[in-house]
A and B are shown apart, each in its own frame.
Chain A
Amino acid sequence: MYEFEYHRPKKLADAVKLIKSKKEGKLMSGGMTLIPTMKQRLASPTDVIDLSGLGNFGVSVSKTKVTIKAGTTHAEVASNSDLKKAVPALAALAGMIGDPHVRHRGTLGGSVANADPAADYPAALLALNAKVVTDSRTIEADKFFKGLFETALRANEIIKQVSFDIPAKSAYSKMPNPASRYAMVGVFVADFGNKGVRVGVTGAKGSAYREKAMEKALSADFSAGAIAGLKIKADDMNADIHASAEYRAHLVGVMAKRAVGAAK
């Protein structure tokens, strides 16, 4: 790892000021991606601004809405008792990220900002129609994930929290890579009753996306049978040593059917 200057501001405003003032600064939350990337010298920031000193963590659940602060660890999301009742699918998703030690450190904000094509949260944010609140504005999930490790965040923008309405039922189904536990394909299905069904997919393409033909079919009939005949195109799917594009396209269908069957 190349040397850098370390900062741990206590206030969001100070973090914003710091990142704006540094030539090649990087924001760090849990560091579960950034530190390994820096160790491999794939990133060499002049300054690291550690957001863990902001104390910006916690899950709050009201009758209709969930808000999760950006610095909340995966372990905290997975074990939050209110969230387990309100949106058990999201708590379960957080419990499937990485391994217990990584979940103690990695955060929702960090994962969302990093936008790894195989990360779990992006599928959930899309399906839950979440709003990403930053230090300066609110971005809808639909407009947030732009591409491979690319988001709508500006260079110096910091995520404060994520919020979304509680769906009638939801589920996340994932085929994990056996070594990394990243999603080969993961599908998050959220049923908002008369507001329709949303389907977020991760791992399959360069960026998480919504499978809109499935949403239409499931909005009319929320059953695995409703999407059984749906053909998923492999055209722009990822292909690598773990899975071909065709296999991933097939998995999207299988994971979606499993999620619909498991939704509660």
Chain B
Amino acid sequence: MPAISMTVNGEKVCGEVEGRTLLVEFIRNNLGKTGTHVGCDTSQCGACVVHVDGKAIKSCTALAVACDGASVDTIEGLAQNGKLHPMQEAFREHHGLQCGFCTPGMIMAGIDIVKRKGKKLKEETIREELEGNICRCTGYHNIVKAIQAGAAKM
């Protein structure tokens, strides 16, 4: 089995994986970081979104071994010293979640939008950019509001 190492939320980690081990399986099963969720498992829902080398990707559709040497950021790495990341705080404040299952992916996607499009986001832009993230509870209104508010505070 290939041995891999990567930096996850700033920490060096390593492990042995099979060729077929998905990045999300490595994060959840090997590292025990279960904040990254598996929703659809068919590359559609976006609950598994993490950042690899600074870019949002679906970790259910990436091989762990292909991310050998990469820098990975997950939802667990956002809060610093017990203080929520502005995007997390905005989801709390604007009630951007109900069941919470899609939330880790939504927040990671939201931060990625800010990285690419800046802090001043139009509602229309956010809705378009959330193409790859599905929520089955909220109807998206509060998620959009949360990302808009979180972006402004980043």
Contact A3 B132 (CB under 8 A): no
Q: In whole angstroms, how far apart are the Cα atoms of A229 and B58 in the complex? A: 45
Residues of A with C-beta under 8 A to B80? none
Set of chain B residues within 8 Å of A1, measured between Cβ atoms: 20
- Nearest Cβ on chain B to A91's Cβ, whole angstroms: 14
Mark each residue of chain B from 91 to 127: 1 if its CB lies under 8 Å from any CB of chain A, else 0: 0000000000000000001001100100000000000
> Is B46 among interface residues, defined by CB-CB distance under 8 A?
yes
Chain A 75-117 interface residues, beta-carbon cutoff 8 Å to B: 75, 98-102, 104-105
Task: For B61, list chain A residues within 8 Å (CB).
Answer: 31-32, 35-36, 102, 105
With contact pairs A35-B63, A101-B46, A102-B132 given, residues A3 and B18 touching in the complex (Cβ less than 8 Å): yes
Residue B57 interfacial (CB < 8 Å): yes
Stretch at the interface among A4-12, A120-128, A161-169, A216-224: A4-12
Q: How far is the CA of A75 from the CA of B117 in the complex (A)?
A: 13
Q: Is the CB of B20 within 8 A of A101?
A: no
CB contacts under 8 Å to A, within B119-154, are 129, 131-133
Measured between beta carbons, the chain A residues less than 8 angstroms from B2 are 6
Q: Would you list which residues of chain B between 13 and 67 have a CB under 8 Å from chain A? A: 18-20, 22, 41-44, 46, 49, 55-58, 61-63, 65-66
A31 touches B66 (CB 8 A): yes
Given known pairs A2-B20, A5-B19, A36-B43, the reply for A50 and B109 (CB within 8 Å) is no
Q: Is A38 an interface residue (CB 8 A)?
A: yes
Across the interface, B132 reaches (CB within 8 A) one of A8, A31, A75, A100, namely A100
- Which one of B22, B58, B129 contacts A102 once the chains associate, using CB atoms below 8 Å? B58
Of residues 1 through 46 on chain A, the ones whose CB sits less than 8 Å from some CB of chain B are 1-6, 8, 31-32, 35-36, 38-39
Contact of B129 among A5, A38, A100, A180 (CB under 8 A): A100
- Asked if A264 is an interface residue, CB under 8 A from chain B, the answer is no
A8→B66 contact, CB < 8 A: yes
Assess the B63–A6 pair: CB atoms within 8 A. Answer: yes
Total interface residues in chain B, CB < 8 Å: 29
Residues of the A chain whose Cβ atoms lie less than 8 Å from the Cβ of B19: 3-6, 48
Q: In the bound complex, how far is the Cα of B132 from the Cα of A31, in angstroms?
A: 16
Contact check: which of A2, A35, A180 meets B62 at CB < 8 Å?
A35
Instruction: Indicate if A52 sits at the interface (CB-CB under 8 A).
Output: yes
Q: B20 contacts A104, CB within 8 Å?
A: no
Q: B-facing mask of A176-192, CB < 8 A → 1, else 0?
A: 00011100000000000
Specify which of A3, A38, A99 lies most central, judged by the most chain B CB atoms within 10 Å of its CB. A99
Residue of A nearest to B18 (CB): A3
Residues from chain B with Cβ under 8 Å of A105 in the complex: 57-58, 61-62
> Are A31 and B62 CB-contacts (below 8 A) given A5-B19, A104-B56?
yes
Contacts of A179 in B (CB 8 A): 44
- A sample of 8 more A-B contacts (CB under 8 A), given A4-B20, A102-B132, is A1-B20, A4-B19, A35-B22, A35-B62, A50-B63, A101-B112, A101-B132, A105-B62
Taking beta carbons and an 8 Å cutoff, which residues of B are in contact with A? Answer: 2, 18-20, 22, 41-44, 46, 49, 55-58, 61-63, 65-66, 68, 109, 112-113, 116, 129, 131-133
25 cross-chain CB contacts under 8 A: A3-B20, A4-B19, A6-B19, A6-B65, A8-B65, A8-B66, A31-B63, A32-B43, A35-B22, A35-B43, A36-B43, A36-B61, A48-B63, A99-B131, A99-B132, A100-B109, A100-B116, A100-B131, A101-B109, A102-B43, A102-B58, A102-B61, A102-B132, A104-B57, A105-B62
